[in-house]
Structure 1
Amino acid sequence: MTIYKSEAGAQLLRERYLETLRAWPVPHEEVRVPTPEGETFVLVSGPAEAPPLVLLHGSGSNSGEWTARLPSLAGRFRVYAVDVIGEPGMSAETRPPLTGDRYARWLDAVLDHFGVARAAFLTSSFGGWLALDFATRRPGRVTALALRCPIGLGPMKKGFVVKAVLLALFGEKGRRKSVAGVLGEPETSPIVDHQLLVSANYRYRTGPFPLFDESALGRLTMPVYAVAGAEDAMVDSATTKRRLEAAGAVVDLVPGTGHYIPGEADLAFLTRTAANGDFTA
């Protein structure tokens, strides 16, 4: 089954993404990488000799999510913004099971294509799950993790699903209220508008995301920093903080904030880690 609800919807989302790519804020190269899970679209920017940094966006998104961050990141790192497979970007629509190591082997192929033996990761939401999965399976290839509202640590809040279903009964107004509540953004926010467009045309994953057990978290030998919204309506951020800190990570909970985290709280961590020589290619 296609990840889009219609071909017209797929075309609409592609056109919106192409508009974003045409306005990409830094010089870059667009690379299509062959992998065992299909072609993967990667935007590469920043000095070739700089420390490598992989960006993994959230579910229902693509690398356009990082547009505002690119100027500061590409000035310090060799940035690989990866369109996650099975999401509404330019990569293959493949969706491997979340159990097993197929996503890890997919990321192996992406890194190998660019000759990157080890890299730091900056991630958002589902991208954080992917990076954690990779780091627990391939700790030698991950030099640092910067996680924004990661999933797979704290349980998903059941009330979120119930509320979303009830609000959907009120049509467009209800859906807007639901999305705004999850993101922690005003209903008039352009971010809410974009997510409504995506949800109208894209089929999100169904089913729970596996939680990482203590044994897996014990394999996180690299520096880890996470930031999450204290008022996240979707994920139990308090549990995320507790479990990551028990594994040696530094975690900040932002008061009055939902699943969308503005700003660059992770940049200082990444810059400091690179300056300390903790991650190199």
Structure 2
Amino acid sequence: MQKTSVFKSQEGREKIRGYYDMILNAFPLGKRYVETTFGRTFILEAGKSDRPPMVLLHGSCSNNAAWLGDLSALSREYHAFAVDIPGEPGNSEEYRLNLQSDEYSRWLAEVLDALALKKAILVGNSLGGWLALQFTAAHPERVQALILLAAAGLVPPKQAFIEQTQKIPMDRSSAKATKDTILGDSVLPAEVLQFMMLVFEHFNPIIGALPILSDVQLAGLSMPVLFIAGISDATMDATLAAKRLKAQVPQAEVILLEGSHVITTAADKVLPFLAGIL
């Protein structure tokens, strides 16, 4: 079967990646690619190599630029690797993996192998949280601690949000509406908002619900777990997600914030949690 790019056109791909690279060039971060059987993967690297390794996984319709506000703080304590997920608007492979299979977990295992990381702290946001959950359920021995920021995969998404995202390919106004839904009352720099609209204009997002982890999968998470979400998250019922996680993973720490799906300054919560358990 022929693969289909997640970018609507080659021109759109170059616009997104050009803007992305312009943002990254303003920061003194290491940049590298690793090869996997699922294609080339782009990684930002920060922090000293003798610090505990931390792998950061961004959300849908996003890339490693999402971590730029937190990387400085996180890399003072950890050797941080921010990874562009394949099939998202970053610099990794432009073909989406099979969400209904174990391909994303296998891809991430290959990335960790390429980085020579036997074990790492995983931090996942939204789609990245779902990916982190899937990987951790399959490879618990490779995860030192699991940090979930508004993670998908714990409860079904809200139907209104799914219906809204399904309209994006046919209705450009739905892109702005979806952006507003995700942001809620969050205030982001104008450059970030401009980039989000550029992505929605030239990128084909995931428009269906992600698979939900089973109780058995969740019950196998024996490592320290932190879950952070906004109680006004329009993509899911964050309170219900927290309740289900605590029922299956009793040691999980839950922080429910006033706010929406976007969690800013995550390092302010992540660093104290890790300091207390590592």
Considering the TM-score relative to the shorter chain, is it more than 0.5? yes
Shift of 1:182: 2.3
Partner of 2:181 in structure 1?
Answer: 181
Aligned pairs for 1:21-100 (under 5 A) are 21-24=24-27, 26=28, 28-100=29-101
Question: Are 1:269 and 2:273 matched, yes or no?
Answer: yes
CA contact (8 A) 2:5 2:95 kept: no
CA contact (8 A) 1:128 1:148 kept: yes
Normalised by the size of structure 1, how large is the TM-score? 0.89
Change (3 A) 1:169 1:114: closer
Partner of 2:208 in structure 1?
Answer: 207
CA contact (8 A) 2:69 2:265 kept: no
Q: How many residues align?
A: 270
Shift of 1:161: 3.6
- Measure the CA separation in 2 of the matches of 1:171 and 1:39: 30
Report which stretch shifted further, 52-61 or 98-107.
Answer: 98-107
Which amino acid is 1:182 matched to?
I
Change (3 A) 1:177 1:118: same
Aligned pairs for 1:114-263 (under 5 A) are 114-162=115-163, 172=173, 175-185=175-185, 190=190, 191-246=192-247, 247-248=249-250, 249-255=252-258, 257-263=259-265
Shift of 1:168: 10
Pick the aligned partner of 1:16 from 9, 15, 19: 19
Which amino acid is 2:183 matched to?
L
Which amino acid is 1:52 matched to?
P
Report percent identity of matched pairs.
34
- Measure the CA separation in 2 of the matches of 1:170 and 1:3: 17
Partner of 1:279 in structure 2?
Answer: none
Please give the secondary structure, in 2, of the residue aligned with 1:34.
Answer: strand
Partner of 1:111 in structure 2?
Answer: 112
CA contact (8 A) 1:185 1:260 kept: no
Change (3 A) 1:115 1:231: same
Change (3 A) 1:16 1:271: farther
Once the two structures are superposed, what CA deviation does each residue of 1:138-194 show, in whole Å capped at 9, x if it has no partner?
Answer: 00000101111000112111122445678999965x643442122213688634433
Which amino acid is 1:143 matched to?
Q
Please give the secondary structure, in 1, of the residue aligned with 2:50.
Answer: coil
CA contact (8 A) 1:146 1:270 kept: no
Please give the secondary structure, in 1, of the residue aligned with 2:254.
Answer: strand
Normalised by the size of structure 2, how large is the TM-score? 0.90
Which amino acid is 2:79 matched to?
R
CA contact (8 A) 1:154 1:238 kept: no
The RMSD of aligned alpha carbons is 2.2
CA contact (8 A) 1:136 1:219 kept: yes
Shift of 1:29: 2.3
